[in-house]
Structures are given as C-alpha cells and as structure tokens.
Amino acid sequence: MLLALALASIPLWAPRFWIYIATQALIFAIFAMSLDLLVGYAGLPSFGHAAFYGVGAYACALLALGHVDGLVPLLLAGMLGAGAAALPIGALSLRTSGIYFLMLTLAFAQMLWGLAVNWTSLTRGTDGLIGIPRPALPGLDTLNVSLYDRGPFFFLCLLVAIAVFVVLESLVRSPFGKTLEGIRENDRRMRALGFPTFRYRLAAFVLAGMVAGIAGSLAAMSNGFATPDLLYWTVSGLALIAVVVGGTRSFIGPALGAFLVLFAQLGLSTYIDRWELALGALFIAFVLFLPRGLVGLVRRA
Amino acid sequence: MDVLNLAHGSFYMIGAYTAYTVVMATQNFWLALLVAPVLLAVIGAALEMVFFRRLYRHGHLPQVLMTFGFTLVFVDLIRSRFGPTTRAIPPPPGLGGAVHLATATFSSYSLFVLGIAIVIGALLVIGWRLTRLGVVLRAGVSDKEMAGLLGIDLPRTFTFTFAFGAALAGLAGVIAAPEFAIYPGMDANVLILALVVVVIGGLGSIEGALLGAAVIGLGYVIGSTLFPQFAIGLIFALMAAVLIIRPSGLLGRRS
Amino acid sequence: MEVTVTDLTVRFGAVAVLDDVDLEIASGERRALIGPNGAGKTTLLNVIAGELRPAQGSVRLGTRDATTLPPWKRARLGLGRTFQRSTLFGQLTVAENVALAVRARIRGSWRFWPGGQHPVREEVGKRLEAAALAHLANRRAANIGHGEQRMLELELALAASPSVLLLDEPMAGLSGAERQSVLNRLLTLPRQVTIVIVEHDLDAVFAIAERVSVLDHGVKIADGGPAAVRADPRVQEAYIGAF
Amino acid sequence: MSDEIEDYLNWKLAGRIDRRDFLKLGVSAAGIALVAACGGSNTVGPTGPTGPEFKLGVVLPYSGVYAELGNSITNGMRMYFDSVGNQAGNRKITVVTADEQVALADAVAATKKVVEQDGVDMVAGYVSSPNAAGNRNYLDGLKMPTLIANAGVNSLSRAAKSPFIYRTSFSNWQPSHPMGTYVAEKLGKKKIQLVYAKYGAGLEAVAAFKETFTGSGGTIVGPDVATPFPNNGDQTPFVQAIQTDKIDGIYCFMSGTDAVTFLKKAAELGTLKKLGLVSGAGFFVEQDVLAAITDAAPDGAITGLHWALPLANKENQDFVSKYSKKFSGRQADVFAVQGFDTARVIVEALNAVKGNTTNKDAFMTAIAGVSFKSPRGDFKFDATTNNVVQTIYVRKTVKDPKLGWTNQVIDQYPGVADPGK
C-alpha cells in the first residue's frame, strides 16, 4: 500500500518528463506482472509475450482510429484482441514444455511481428498506425479533466495497474491459482488426481495474454502509435528480465523489476552516451548478486 | 549443455570483426580462419569460468538475463572500437566470381561455404559420436550428476564445451564476413535463426542442428522466392509446425 | 468398481514388456500383483492409470472402456494411484498437497477468486490426523522424511476418495512401524474400494490381498488365493530365479 | 580556436569516437577558448555572446543500424557551428543530444527528454521516417520549431505538414521523380524492373519514379523485387529474381547494410553486368556503401541524388576537404551535408531575428526565408510544403583515381520542389 501511495504522489512533484517515464513504467509493470502469472505461477517461461502486448496495442489503435472514443471499449478491445490471439497460440505452444515452449512462443511472436510489418493494408507496415487519439473520460469532461494531460493519464495507468495487481494477487490465492501452482510443481501427479492440466494452463496463458493486451492498449493510447517494434523479441526479452530482476512468484517483484528496467533503459539511453554498455553491465551484475531477484532479497532477509 | 546463450550471436559478430581486422592487416583470409576461433575459444572459456559457472543451478531465466546483458556490452564495445560504419571484406582470392552449372549460376563463395559447412558438420558428428572426448561431453550434457559420479571433471568439461561452441560461432563469423555486411548490430538476426535451427533439429543432437539448418536454409530460400515479404515469418511458421508435430524437435530425445 | 484388462500387450521397441495379459478384478476386491523386478508390474499399473497406451488389448473400468481415456478422465471416474517414486508437490506444504487432492474431488478448482475453502481445510485437517502427518502440516513436502513422504503419497491418492486404488510399492523403504501404519490405513478403507497393490513385502501382500496375480517377464504365470499362489512351483521358481 | 585545443579535440576524436562528450566538450572548449582569448592573453578578443543561451535539441540515432547516419549528420552540424564560433544572433548555441535509436518508442522518449527535461528552444533530427512522423503531433502541439535532417517521408511535406516543421534533407519523392524522365527520355530505356527494400521510403521512391517513367512512355516489367525490411537473410534469391534477359535495366532503392549485401551478392553472381542499365536513388551507391563494397560497386550506375562528392562548386570542394581534415580523414557523405545545412539554417534564422525566438511565427518566417549556397548547390525552402527546394543531380558511379569509388555528376535538374500533394 505504501508503494501505491508513493506512486500516486508522483504527478504532484515529478517534472513532466519523469511523469511520462513513470507512466511508461506503469504500463510495462502491468505487462511484466501478466508475464509472471505464466513464468512464476504456471511454470510456463514464455519468450513471446510481447505478441499479446502488440496485438492489444494494434486492436486498440485500429478501434481508436475507427472513431471509437470510449475508454472502456478501447481497453476491452486490447484485452479481447490479445486473448483471441493467445488462445490458438497457447493451444499449440502448450504441447511442448521447457525450452521448446520458450522457443515456440518466440516463434509465434516473431510471426506476428512479420505480419505487422508486411500486412501494410491493415497495419501500414513499418510506419505503423500513428496519431491515435486518447479516449474521452466518461463524465469527467465537465471538470475539464482530459486524458491528454499527463497527470490524469498517469492516474488512469496507476488505477489500472493497481486493479491488475489486486486481481492477479487474488487469482493466485484462488483455487484456480492453487491448482496452477500444483500443475507447475508436478503435472503428472495433478493429472493422476483428475485435473485436465492442459485446460488450466491454456486458461492461464489466455488470461496472461489478456492482461498483456490491456497494457498494450494503454501503451497505444499513451504514445499515440502502434508500431511493429512493440512485438519484437527484445520487448519479450526485457519483460522476462523485469520478471527475473524483480523476482518470480510474486507480482510486486515484476512490477519493481519493470520500473527498474525501464528507468534504466529510458533513463540511461537519454543521458549517457554508451548506455548499452551500462545497461548490459547492470543486468550482468543483477544476475551475479541477486539470482532470485529483488523479492528474493526480501524473502531471504 | 542446456545453457540458453543469447550472446552466442555476439561471438559470431566478434568472429566477423576479427576476420575484418586480420584481412585488412594481412590480406590473408585463411589466417583469419584460424585466428578467430582461437580468440573466441579464449573469450568463451573466460566467460564460462567467471560468469556462467554460477548459473547452472538457477535454470534458464537468469541465463536469459545475463546473456542479454552480454549482447548489449559486446555491441557497444564493437561499435566504440570499430565505429558504426558498415564494413565488408572481399571473398578470398579465386572465390570471388560465379560458377555456371548448366543453366543456374552459383556464386563460388557460396559453394565454398557449402563445402566448409559439410566438412565441419561431418567432423563434428564424428567427434561427437565416436571420440572419447565426444562421449565425455555427451555424458556431461545429458546427466550432470551421473557424469560427476563417474569422475569426469565437470567444470573442465563445461569450460571446454562452452569454449568450443564459442570458437565455432567465431568460425561462422569469419565464413559469413565476406558473404554479408559487417556492422555492429549483425548479431541479432543470426541469433534468432540459430536458435530456431537448434530447436527444430532437437536439442543436444549435433545431427539435429545440421538437419535443422538444412530445413531452415531451404525454407528461407524457397520462401523468399515464393512470397518475399513473408520469408522471415515463414521460417517461424516452419519451426512452429515442426514443434507441434514433434514437441522435442526432429531428432531431439524425448525430454 | 471392477477393473478388467483383456489380452494386453505393451512393447518398448521390439521388447514385449507385457505379453497378452488378462486380469479381472471384481469391485471391492483386494488384488496383489507380485513378481520379480522388471516383470512389468509398474508398466501394467501405468497402462491401467492411462499414462501408457498399450500396443494391443483393452482396459475397462467398471462399465466404461477406458483404453483411450487420458489419466485425468480415468481419475474422474474414481481411479486413484500412488507412484513407485514419490511424486509430490515439493515446494508446497504438506497441507497444500492434500488440499489439492481434496479439491480434485469436490471440483471447486475453476473458481477465480479466493475464499470458500473452509470445507477443504476441514477435510485436510481430518486426513492429516488420520495419516499422522498433522504435525508436518506447514512443512514443505520436499523437507520431510522418506517414510513421511510415502505416507503423504498414499494420502494424496486417498484424498480423492477413489473407488479403485492402484498402489505402486507403498511399503518401499518404510520402517516396521511405518509399514504397520500404512497397513492399518489400508485395512480401514471402506469395503467397496477396489485395491490393486504392487509390493515386494510379501507379508504385507498376504495380509491385504484376497487374490494374487504373479507376473514374470511380462507374462501372467499364476492367479489365485494367497495360499495357492504361495505354494505354486512356478511362482517359487520365478522368484528363486530372480534371486 | 587555439591550436592546442584543436589538436586535443582531434586526438580525442581519433582515439575514441565519443560523440556526446565530444560535442559538449567541443562547444564548451570553444567557449573556454573565447574566454581565454579575452582574459588570458589580454588581447581584446570579441566579447562573448550576451544574449540568453540558445539550446538546440538534436535527436539522432547513435546506436542501432542507423548510427552511421546519425554520426555523419552530427559531424556536419558540428562543423558548421564551429565555423561560426557556436553563436548566432548574439546567443551562444548549446547542443543537447539524445539517442533516437531505431524503435519509435525510444525516439519519442528521446524527444520528450530534450524538450521537457532540457527545455530546448528548437529540435533537429530524425533519420528514420516512422520516428519523424511519430513525433510530428507532439512537436506541432508544442509549437516547437523543428528541422528534419534526414527522414524523407512525403507526408511531412503534404498531409501531415506542420507550420513548425521544416525539412532540410529531401522528400522521398525528390531524388526519384526526375529520374523517371531521365531514364525514359535521355537514356531511352523503356523496360525497367523495380528493385527496392519494402518499407516507407522504398515504396514512396519507386512510386515517384514510376509516375514520370510511365509518363514518358516507359513500362515497368515483371514482379517487383521487394526485399523484406529489415532484411537479415541471404540476398541471393532476390538478386536472382532480376530478369536480366527481359528488361533494359533496373531502378533500385536501398541504403546502408541492405545495399551493401545486395550489391556484393549481385557482383558475385555477375547479374548487374548483364544489365543495360543499373539506375536508382543515389542512396544505394552513396559514399558509405561504396566505402564498404569497393570493387563490387556497380560501375556506370546512373543515380539521382541532391549531392555528389565530386560536385565542382566551391562550397562543396571547401566542405569536403575541411570535413576530412576535421574528422581525421573521414570522407564526407550526403548525410554530413544535410547536417551542415541544418546548422546553417539555424544560424541564419537566428541572425535574421537577432536571437529573438520568443515570437514563434516571426522565427518560423525567418527560417522559411533562409536561402544560401550549400555544398549541394542552391538551398531554399518552399513555403507551401516546408520542404527544401534543391537541385537533383544525375550521377554516374565511377572509380576516380583520386577519390576512389564515387559518383560523377553527368546531368542535373535544378529547383526540384515537392508537389505538396
């Protein structure tokens, strides 16, 4: 709770640029949390989660450019679009496990990236969809609060992030969550007990995809564009790193990891010249000194 | 050896840049063919001993994080040492032109690459299957505990395996240098293709990697002639298809 | 629930691990499966449990032909099993392990929000008492003794209150006292639960089993009451051959 | 600038290419030199600029595949700023850079950083078109005077034109449009196959060529050879897709690493030698590509571009020699020229308004009014499209004994302006 309050205060004191960075970090945190539902709780290391982040962004972008103006429909579009993509991909990928699953999800994500680059009639290829308007807030217009100002949009992202955090935390404590953990621990035993493990895993995969889709639509709204880069494997890589840096089997971990990774990446690249060297060294240091991530630190203490 | 190394592409890039430096200095491509693998073996061994050794018990994810870090570090070092300009080296003398076989024309350097690939492939398969060293390596990979019990000096074996892998990547870099352009970001695209090839072939099997490479190579060429735009997407579709039919790769052992 | 296996053949490559085996186990019957190592006992269990597809032959559970059903569907029909090597939820606590098995039965697992776990907790408490594991409730399954793990293994199968129970060497590696508590646990099971037990400890076998089938090199060489089988020369020869 | 600082700067550049510190150092060194000149050696040097500091935000790629272009443009800007002592309109010019990288998300972050965090008065930058188009609404919304130093996407001079965004480089339409008429009429080649990298710039370039080429009686033959972008595979299938027997020649649009791998493979297979004509937009035989492929260069290729290394005019000869002296023997290229001109537009506009940039409209009109003799020839803006009006030179790729592989000018189309629609 303390963290949520601290975050809520950001728009009051932080300079405009850092509010923008914080907003991006919140969106990335939602994305990283959805990934940890897979990696930490369901034991499914996905290297292609950016596919659903990107599909969510494109779904929201296409709808927004098609004159849909409501906030909720746009978020829903991102969520359902990503979920629709996650179902077939999950159904196919879950036939494999371990490193094969990792590679298969990477393959599907790169296929969607190839599609985004080449299906120019829909996605306008490498130029991407730009000029996406931010939706009007129902009812709040009278108080002339619009999502175009940085503060209100930050609060929207914060609210969605907290909502996602609460939903995911309760999900993993629910019977469904416990069953998921059981399947992660010992799939053979769960099948012997009568659990159709494939369906549970697929449900987890689609759920994680939908949450990533929400993050995607927020990203499309925040930056006003949806480009193929959102689906590229480096985005999946960064999300995986945020989860590892933050520490798996928790949601506060990946959220912290997301903030750290994004502040490091955006902060370093705009401030120092050889930012790749610094970022690379930071990642290596993290693995050496905190193999179980930030949360691991807390747990061990 | 069950290590997910995203920095393998960087070894390939370092190999290409070594080739560039050696050829620019001595005009001798063949010398580069020797220097690069040795240099990469040293780098590989050092990395394994200092960094990777701690990671074996933590599973794949920390490896992703560390190797992703290394790719960033290597690309920056290369760019600051060689500058961002795209460079190229001519194929070695005598292999520059083209060969006309019946109606088709092949660039002789591509044929040379084909030849080398087959030779190295064969050596690897023989080495992997038949020699004592090959057996030791395979034991170390398939079951660490058992190999340890049998008195195999595991740390040394892993260092050697990792260094050997790095050397091969360096060799690939040298061979690819005349064929493709040499520039700081060249590691990214070869990395994805390499991972795809290894997974399609089946992990832990050298023949699988060779088979996977053939399948992907043909798939790419056929794909780009049929519908050039989606060639890259086609490769991944191919990989997806293989993994769905045989979830542990064409020649992979049932995990 | 009856278990009928008809001319079952399983091959690994060219080797016929099970060769044309027939087995009729009446509902509520306590059947033991004995035989030297490598006779195919565990393979037979795995086929009945659905983890292994036979080359030929069929498996009937009660009235249903279950030959092609996946393991979880067979479990839903009331088939519970333990494994030769304890397959538990290592990182979860003993209580959480049992809770999973209980929830498998009462089917609340598709509930996406917490709560409503009171009945599950109650039953888990009772079961842990019965299995003398209550004092380990909050310990991680990986961090308890071998004997206790075997007990937990059994309890997981029982928690799903199966009508058919497949036991794969439940006594392996247990001390005298632990064997006795497992035996007591099994003997207190309701009559209508069919038990198929694979076990080397012949005293335990003959204490529980009403009928005994003997497998040797994938072939059923004897079938009958404990006394008759004990006296059967072929059984002795198979066992002596094995030692 | 005093000698030891000059040597120190060159030593630093030669030793390690460290753009950002160098840039800051370069500017501050100039400042120190000035102060030293005034105070230290008690000669009465020019008093420093008294007006408020003029901050210029430069967003160019310093990492990723376009780093080479980002470097050249930065060097070009730096050279011009130094030549005027880093001041204009009585204001000291401070340059703040940020790494555009490749992905639009990073370009947006870099832009926001220089605008909001560093509070710059003006922005210059953007190599890749999506990054320029992607930031257009943000910059236009803030009424931020912006100069596009490379990205050629046509829309910025047409539908997406903004009164605050001018372009000093080119629109993708410009280098290719005159080539259509030249190839059809002057060279009489009637059957051309299109070869291009399939992304924004490629599509717009070949469309402009097709417009005039078919207009002058030419016909586009066979399926286009469109290589996927970003292309990281083997180019052989695309080189072999050129139907050498059915066409008079090809018109090609590629740049950087794509051009290098394509031309190397084409040279090996000898495909281009069988063609009557190899033509295209100048980028695929620009100095950076020629330097990499050397003898694999398509000898005699006819290309159109708004600059060429051996251009005879004095400004260019002066620019080329000074550039290689200042940047330790590095050969100038079209991107350096674009950087050089961008800096000059800023200086001339600042002088025109005597450093008073508070009145945005007056400052923009001053920018629009800038015209001068650039190394590429006459440079002025077209007020209707905010795009540069410039000469497009027709060049032939040759191996010059002194300059090595370069492009000799054989014809030119002066005053080519983007149609704006």
Ranges of residues in chain D whose predicted pLDDT is under 70: 1-47, 230-233
**And the tokens for A201?**
């895993």
Span B104-131, pLDDT tens digits? 777 777 778 888 888 888 888 887 777 7
Residue D28 has a pLDDT of 40
Q: Which chains neighbour D (Cβ–Cβ under 8 Å, 3 or more pairs)?
A: A, B
A151-203: pLDDT as tens digits: 888 888 889 999 999 999 999 888 898 899 999 988 888 988 888 899 999 99
Higher pLDDT, A32 or B185: A32
For C:43-62, CB contacts with A below 8 A are 49, 51
Q: Write out pLDDT tens, residues C68-107.
A: 888 888 888 888 888 888 888 888 899 989 888 888 887 7
3-state secondary structure of D1: coil
- Confirm whether the ipTM is greater than 0.85: no
Same-domain check for residues C238 and C120? no
CA distance B95 to chain A (A): 34
Q: Is residue C85 part of a domain?
A: no
Q: If you average pLDDT over residues B156-180, what whole number do you get?
A: 84
pLDDT in tens, D110-131: 999 899 888 899 999 999 888 9
Please say whether the beta carbons of D335 and D170 come within 8 A: no
Domain extent, residue C198, equals 3-78+162-242
Q: Do both C74 and C7 map to the same domain?
A: yes
Mean of pLDDT over chain A: 85
Residue C197 lies in a domain: yes
Same-domain pairing of C115 and C173? no
pLDDT given at position A97 = 80
Closest CB to B84 among D68, D233, D269: D68
Q: How far away is chain A from the Cα of D357, in angstroms, using its nearest Cα?
A: 23
- How many distinct structural domains can be found in chain C? 2
Please report the pLDDT score of residue D29 as a whole number: 41
Which of C128, C159, C190 is the C-terminal boundary of a domain? C159
- Contacts with A176 from chain C: Cβ below 8 Å: 109-112
Mean of the per-residue pLDDT values of chain B: 79
**What tens digit of pLDDT does each residue of A201-234 get?**
999 999 999 999 999 999 998 888 888 889 988 8
**Measured between CA atoms, how close is B233 to chain A, in angstroms?**
5
Q: How confident is the model at residue A60 (pLDDT cuts 50, 70, 90)?
A: very high
> Do C60 and C180 fall into the same domain?
yes
Q: Quick one: CA dihedral A80, A85, A88, A90, positive or negative?
A: negative
| Out of A146-150, B62-66, B240-244, least confident range | A146-150
User: Do C56 and C100 fall into the same domain?
Assistant: no
In this predicted structure, the answer to whether residue B227 has a pLDDT above a threshold of 90 is: no
Q: Which of A223, A224, A269 sits opposite D99 (nearest CB)?
A: A269
Calculate mean pLDDT across residues B76-97.
Answer: 80
Q: A: neighbours with 3+ CB pairs under 8 Å?
A: B, C, D
Among the candidates C101, C124, C159, a domain finishes at C159
Look at D292 and B86 and tell me if their CB atoms are within 8 Å: yes
Look at residue C212 and tell me if it is in a domain.
Answer: yes
Residue whose C-alpha is closest to residue D248's, from D172, D192, D310, D297: D192
For residue A182, give the nearest of C71, C100, C114 by CB distance: C100
Q: Select from D198, D260, D270 the Cβ nearest to the Cβ of B88.
A: D260
Percent of chain A with pLDDT over 70: 94
C near D: at least 3 beta-carbon pairs less than 8 Å apart: no
C166 and C74 within one domain: yes
Separation CA B70–CA A288 (nearest Å): 13
Quick check: is C86 in a domain? Answer: no
Q: Who has greater pLDDT, A24 or B136?
A: A24
- The structure tokens listed for C87 are 């397959």
CA A299 to chain B, closest CA, distance in angstroms equals 17
Q: d(Cα D341, Cα D378) in Å, to the nearest integer?
A: 11
In a domain, C146, yes or no: yes
Contact list, A104 vs chain B (CB under 8 Å): 199, 239-240, 243
- Is residue A21 within 8 angstroms of chain D, CB to CB? yes
Write out pLDDT tens, residues B29-45: 888 888 888 988 898 88
pLDDT above 70 for B102: no
Q: What distance in Å separates the CA atoms of residue B103 and residue D88, rounded to the nearest whole number?
A: 65
In a domain, C84, yes or no: no
Q: Are residues C172 and C232 in the same domain?
A: yes
The type of residue at A183 is I
Is C16 inside a domain boundary?
yes
In a mutational test of the B interface, the residue from A102, A198, A274, A276 whose CB has the highest number of chain B CBs within 10 Å is A276
Rounded to 10 deg, the angle between the A16-36 and D104-112 helix axes is 150
The stretches of chain B forming alpha helices (DSSP H) are 8-26, 29-50, 60-82, 108-129, 132-142, 144-149, 154-176, 186-201, 206-226, 231-245
For residue C176, give both structure tokens. 């005298």
- What percent of chain B lies above the pLDDT cut of 70? 90
Quick one: pLDDT at residue A27? 93
Q: Are residues C100 and C67 in the same domain?
A: no
Span B184-205, average pLDDT: 77
What pTM does this model have? 0.85
| Residue B132: Cβ-neighbour burial (10 angstroms; 0-12, 13-18, 19+) | exposed
Residue B59 neighbours by CB under 8 Å, 6+ apart: none
| Residues of chain A found within 8 Å of residue B5, distances taken between Cβ atoms | none
- B4·A99 Cβ contact <8 A: yes
Same domain, C20 and C113: no
Q: Give me the residue from A118, A223, A274 closest to D105, CB to CB.
A: A223
Is the CB of residue A178 less than 8 Å away from at least one CB of chain C? yes
Residue of chain A whose Cα is closest to the Cα of B58: A291
String of DSSP letters for D315-360: HHHHHHHHHHHHTTTPPP-HHHHHHHHHHHHHHHHHHHTTT--SSH
Write down the pLDDT at residue B202.
74
Residues of chain A found within 8 Å of residue D228, distances taken between Cβ atoms:
117-118
Question: Same structural domain for residues C146 and C170?
Answer: no
pLDDT score, position D9:
37
A266-292 pLDDT, tens per residue?
Answer: 778 777 778 888 888 888 888 888 777
D57: three-class secondary structure by DSSP: strand
On whether residue C137 sits in a domain, the answer given is yes
Confidence category of residue C240, pLDDT binned at 50, 70, 90 = low
Residue ending a domain, choose from C159, C176, C206: C159
> What is the per-residue pLDDT for D190?
87
pLDDT at C120 over 90: no
**Are C232 and C176 within one domain?**
yes
Mean pLDDT of B13-42: 86
Same domain, yes or no: C189 and C129: no
**CATH number, position C31:** 3.40.50.300
